[in-house]
Chain A
Amino acid sequence: MAIVLSIDNLSKKYGSLKAVDNLSLQVEEGSIYGLLGPNGSGKTTTLGMVLDVIRPSSGSFSWFGDGISKATKHRVGAILETPNFYPYLTAKRNLQVIADNKGANHDNIDKMLDLVGLGTRSHTTYKGYSLGMKQRLALAAAMLNDPEVLVLDEPTNGLDPQGIAEVRDLILRIASQGKTIILASHLLDEVEKVCTHVAVLRSGKLVTNGPVGNIVAAKEQLIISAEELAPVLQLLERLPYIAQFAQEKDYIILTLQEGYSSIDLNRDMFAQGIVLSQIVTRRKSLEKQFLEIIKP
């Protein structure tokens, strides 16, 4: 897979504060890459730097293997923070201005407005739009010249549940056309539902990254109990695929190494004459993991 965006040791300092600290990551073509982190973790600063509006203090990045230029910018559609439009212009006029700047075909404007469901409101001035309409207009603007990559910064921020569902649906639809999407969010649920890859940021530092599935699956837990816990604990110490275990009152919580499941454990226990009275697989929610990951 080709690398769309490569970030190499990127840092941004504001005085003594490191907003982004030696961040390195790579976004592969066709992925939906989530930048996940609490507010102030450096997501927007990172996007600002790779979009050429914030000067990095050090480090480098490249789009499609090249430095940032008019040509690479035209291959990327991006919105940073809140939707940015001229409040006194109509939606259509706003998109005309953006089409000029992107060198996009003006014929796309109506098509995009229809796609985000604003076709009938295209002559309303932007300041008369609801927040949901503004977010959707921003999506239309980002997609105006049919870019290969979409960069979205908190695209569902401030939307009602229906709006959130619509925007997510739209993102998945766009991704299904083979486009790469980079999505900054502080909502785990959003990243889990939408993204294929995730990078978790905390105070500007990369905490972990990889395919969403991996990060979730690696953290499976088992809860077991038996009449007598002592022989169980003895056996657990000898089994090679037990990553860690701990006794809690009348049950034991344990994690297995990758590639093993509760079936292996149950079989080995039985082979040693131990009958488990309970065996529960608990997939920790991403939420819980996230809070664990970002614990300072």
Chain B
Amino acid sequence: MDLLRTEFRKILPYRTFWFIMGIYVLLMVLILYTSTSVEINGQALGNETYQFPELWMRLTYVAHFFNLLLGILVIVLVTDEYSYRTLRQQVIDGLSRTEVVLSKFYVVLGLATFSTLFLLVLGLYLGLVYSKDTSATAIFSQIDYLPYYFVQAIAYMTLAVLFAFLIRKSGLTIIAFIAYTKIVEPIIHYNLPDNIDKYFPMKALDSLTPMPGRDLWGQVAGPFEQLSPAMATLPSVVFIGLFLFLSYLVLKLRDL
């Protein structure tokens, strides 16, 4: 935990950090607020969207798009250490490679905790305002989407950490990260049968926050295979471990 305290010392006075976090919070609030006022057939969608308990699924599905922003934030924090040469200095001053990776992973855990709590607060607020059923069972019966989202956010950001340690330059890393998550893996998925590619990192991670109404969509376009959130948790945790281990290997095998 000393590592996390040191990371906080570095991050808290950093304007770029607050800027990206500000955008994250602002965009989330904005998108959720505007979607409540979208009217379909003369009825505001808000009442429809924010009914407990389905709210949690919708909320985490929307939030999962913003993992990209969290990933970019983490990339900035890691590549900064290269451009300021402070990564070198940390190792000279006594940190081991394992501790260097761990300190960034703790930041990832912190950010994931923050965004999950933020979703909890946001969900409770929207639900209590718009939901017809506000009984405890309605509120909490599907709240397990939040822990699934938590795992997903960690995994996305850990992949960003790996990309940043691997590529070192912030701009290139961000491009590579977006290209991989949004283009390269989907192309691979397209060329592989569902029963294999459902275990691929991006697909397994996305399975943690399934698209609302997916079953309905499956009936129209033909069934497609995806892991259930519960089934996707173990592969996701394994991927987190793998990304961390690969980050460690990159540091171990290369000059800093």
Partners in one complex: yes
Tell me whether B178 is interfacial, beta carbon within 8 Å. no
**Contact (Cβ within 8 A) B255 A100:** no
**Contact (Cβ within 8 A) B9 A85:** no
Tell me whether A160 is interfacial, beta carbon within 8 Å. no
> Chain B interface secondary structure, helix, strand, loop or mixed?
helix
**Contact (Cβ within 8 A) A87 B9:** no
**Contact (Cβ within 8 A) B93 A73:** yes
Partner of A78, one of B86, B92, B96, B255: B92
**Contact (Cβ within 8 A) B90 A101:** yes
**How close is B30's CB to chain A, nearest CB, in angstroms?**
28
**Contact (Cβ within 8 A) B86 A53:** no
Tell me whether A98 is interfacial, beta carbon within 8 Å. yes
**Contact (Cβ within 8 A) A85 B256:** no
**Contact (Cβ within 8 A) A84 B10:** no
Tell me whether A48 is interfacial, beta carbon within 8 Å. yes
> Chain A interface secondary structure, helix, strand, loop or mixed?
loop
Tell me whether B6 is interfacial, beta carbon within 8 Å. yes
Cβ contacts under 8 Å, B89 to chain A = 79-80, 84-85, 98, 101
Tell me whether B214 is interfacial, beta carbon within 8 Å. no
**Contact (Cβ within 8 A) B9 A93:** yes
Tell me whether A58 is interfacial, beta carbon within 8 Å. no
Tell me whether B2 is interfacial, beta carbon within 8 Å. yes
Cβ contacts under 8 Å, B5 to chain A = 100
Nearest to B95 among chain A residues (CB) is A101
**How close is A84's CB to chain B, nearest CB, in angstroms?**
4
**Contact (Cβ within 8 A) A101 B85:** no
Bound Cα distance from A167 to B91, whole angstroms: 25
**Contact (Cβ within 8 A) A97 B255:** no
Give residues in A with beta carbon < 8 Å to B: 48, 51-55, 70, 73-74, 78-82, 84-90, 93, 96-98, 100-103
20 residue pairs from A and B, CB less than 8 Å apart: A53-B255, A54-B255, A55-B255, A70-B94, A73-B93, A74-B94, A80-B88, A80-B92, A81-B85, A84-B88, A85-B84, A85-B89, A86-B84, A88-B15, A89-B9, A93-B9, A93-B13, A101-B89, A101-B94, A102-B94
8 closest Cβ pairs, A-B complex = A84-B85, A101-B93, A100-B6, A53-B256, A73-B94, A84-B89, A54-B255, A51-B92
